[in-house]
Structure 1
Amino acid sequence: MDETAVDDWSPADNPYAIAVSEAQWARRDVALCVRRIHAGNEVVGGFDSRQIDARHLCIALRQLLTAETLEQAALADLGMDPMVGQTLEQARKRFELSLPDITQIRNGLIHFENWSRGLGHGPQSQRVKAGDEPRDVARAFWGFGYDITTDTVSMGPYRINVTAAEEAAAELAHAIYMAARAVDMKNTADHRDAAAQVLTDAEVPCAPAGPVQVSAGLDGRVWLSLDSTAVAGGAERRTLSRKALSALAGAGFGITSLGQFQAADPALRLAAGQALRIEPCAARQALATAPQG
């Protein structure tokens, strides 16, 4: 493994992928909490396990909204089609419609040092500004717990349904994934188009007008292949293969292959009908991950 490449890695290079990772962790956290809450009570050091899991549930649910915020920022930085962000925004709105009080419940849990004194931001602050005493405000917004009879978690005036939480989490996590998938598809298309343009500029006959093919696979990789039936002789296929590989290498693209091959020369592999992977050009990768504007 290239230690330099490992040392140079940063989550800041691909925040859209970090959003997916965090959303998937949060979604599984939600699912686990819901499963344990519905499984029944277990006493842990004198505490009801359902009440413990209810706390984790609320925090994990709010993490999904944070992941969506990160995904939206990444989409904007990458200059993605606004429709991608709008579709994700609609998913967030459905999540908030299903669990409208989750942010306030999470805030009360996380910022108990302020909420317990009536000094929290948002609704508590508004009540104090309206003239209510902080201790009265604190009392009105206190009292966290899971109610087995209604399958709800509440804190003061706020409530969420536990069963609805799992479905809402799954939908938002999937929407975040699909937004990131759109980024991957765009990156792959840009990578494919750039490689094809290099070959065209080098007068290498590319498909659909020529036998050299640059295609995007379902795996998100870009592949170089040669339609051997469109080239008469083996010598001509080898010459065309070397010309294509030389043009791509000169533009900064790398060439790799999967599996074991008898021929060590990539041009011979390509001429023999084996597809080769076109690695992204380092310069284009840096441009793709840099903030736009």
Structure 2
Amino acid sequence: MSETVANDWSPADNPYAIAVSEAQWWQRTAALAVRRIRAGDDDNGGPCFDSRQIDARQLCIALRQLLMAEKLEQIALADLGIDPAAGQALEQARERFEAALPGIKHMRDGLTHFEDWSRGKGIGPQQRRIKAGDTPRDVARHFWGFAYDPRADTVTMGPYRIDVGAVEEAAGELALAIYLAAHEVDKRNTARLRATVAQALTGARIPCGPEEAVRVSGGGDGRVWLSFTPGVLPGEPERQALAERVVAALTTTSLRLAGSTTLQPAETATSLVGGQSLWVERDPTA
């Protein structure tokens, strides 16, 4: 990849993939926090701070971030016009996550916005209690008191409680649901790229299909693969000529063939003639 291409990269180009990456990071952060909590106090927090209480705080933040990853995925799906069924399946996964870990959003908000929650000035549930007529002092007391209870294996903050034993399954399911939703984007992108390749070849009068000399197929890896069908072309000169035409046709639509190593156009043609399957990608230098 050239320096110009690298400098032009932006996460804004593929937020659906960023959501997957963040979901996986935060899922593993939550799993790590669970293991550390259950390992007991390691005394690294010092004489006044139980390390399990520290890890419990990180656990709540990680779980809330998983919900933010789901939110980003939903935004990306809508912006890309993906079948609403993908977003609905993801929404159902989020609802199961929230049912398994009730109040996690508010627990995280209380932790990260302690400057407001400690005064009864937080938004959401605290705000509703104030509007109902409670005093800020009473509201603050009601929603305070964060702690991990090793006997019950629970984390509580005010009226909210989550079971640590439910964390890994719930986080794993939501992270998987985010991945599967993003996979719908990949499948659509693969289908579109395959159609573009077929159109480019057809426009250059190069027939492609299962029974033709050139095969274009979508792989389980999300890539579009191109290869020569064995036995269709009689000899190497014919395969060489066709390979050069294929490379030229793809070049006109800012596409190129790639393999396990970087290939120049002449090497690409040689690889096709030799029977290799190559994948099609956008040419970042075009």
Give the TM interval when normalised to the shorter protein.
over 0.9
CA, structure 1 residues 134+260, in 2 after alignment: closer, same or farther (shift >3 Å)? closer
Partner of 1:289: none
Fraction of identical pairs, as percent: 59
TM-score (norm 2): 0.93
C-alpha distance in 2 between matches for 1:267 and 1:29: 46
- 2:85 pairs, out of 83, 86, 92, with 83
- 2:237 pairs, out of 235, 245, 257, with 235
Q: Deviations over 1:211-243 (max 9, x none)?
A: 111122233222221114011232222222222
Counterpart code for 1:110: T
C-alpha distance in 1 between matches for 2:237 and 2:90: 52
Contact 1:228 1:237 in 2 (8 A): no
C-alpha distance in 1 between matches for 2:6 and 2:252: 25
Partner of 2:7: 7
Contact 1:228 1:272 in 2 (8 A): no
Partner of 2:123: 121
Q: Deviations over 1:55-83 (max 9, x none)?
A: 11001000000000000101111111111
C-alpha distance in 2 between matches for 1:274 and 1:140: 68
Contact 1:124 1:137 in 2 (8 A): yes
Partner of 1:272: 274
Q: Deviations over 1:181-230 (max 9, x none)?
A: 22112212211121012112222111134111112223322222111401
Of 43-52 and 60-69, more deviation after overlay is shown by 43-52
C-alpha distance in 1 between matches for 2:153 and 2:122: 27
C-alpha distance in 2 between matches for 1:21 and 1:200: 37
CA displacement at 1:174 relative to structure 2: 0.9
Any unmatched runs of 5+ in structure 2? none
What aligned pairs does 1:1-293 form with structure 2 within 5 A after superposition? Answer: 1-43=1-43, 44-45=45-46, 46-259=48-261, 264-280=266-282
Counterpart code for 1:132: D
Other structure's SS at 2:148 match: strand
Other structure's SS at 1:258 match: coil
Say how many residue pairs are matched.
283
Counterpart code for 1:179: A
CA, structure 1 residues 237+101, in 2 after alignment: closer, same or farther (shift >3 Å)? same
Counterpart code for 1:5: V
4+ runs of 1 displaced by more than 6 Å? none
Of 234-243 and 170-179, more deviation after overlay is shown by 234-243
C-alpha distance in 2 between matches for 1:30 and 1:225: 44
C-alpha distance in 1 between matches for 2:262 and 2:33: 46
Counterpart code for 2:65: Q
Counterpart code for 2:8: D
Contact 2:120 2:137 in 1 (8 A): yes
C-alpha distance in 1 between matches for 2:75 and 2:41: 41
CA, structure 1 residues 145+62, in 2 after alignment: closer, same or farther (shift >3 Å)? same
CA displacement at 1:272 relative to structure 2: 2.6
Contact 1:216 1:222 in 2 (8 A): yes
C-alpha distance in 2 between matches for 1:17 and 1:280: 18
Other structure's SS at 2:249 match: helix
C-alpha distance in 2 between matches for 1:265 and 1:125: 67
Counterpart code for 1:28: R
TM-score (norm 1): 0.91
Contact 1:62 1:103 in 2 (8 A): yes
CA, structure 1 residues 252+141, in 2 after alignment: closer, same or farther (shift >3 Å)? same
Counterpart code for 2:110: G
C-alpha distance in 2 between matches for 1:71 and 1:266: 37
CA displacement at 1:84 relative to structure 2: 1.0
CA displacement at 1:266 relative to structure 2: 2.8
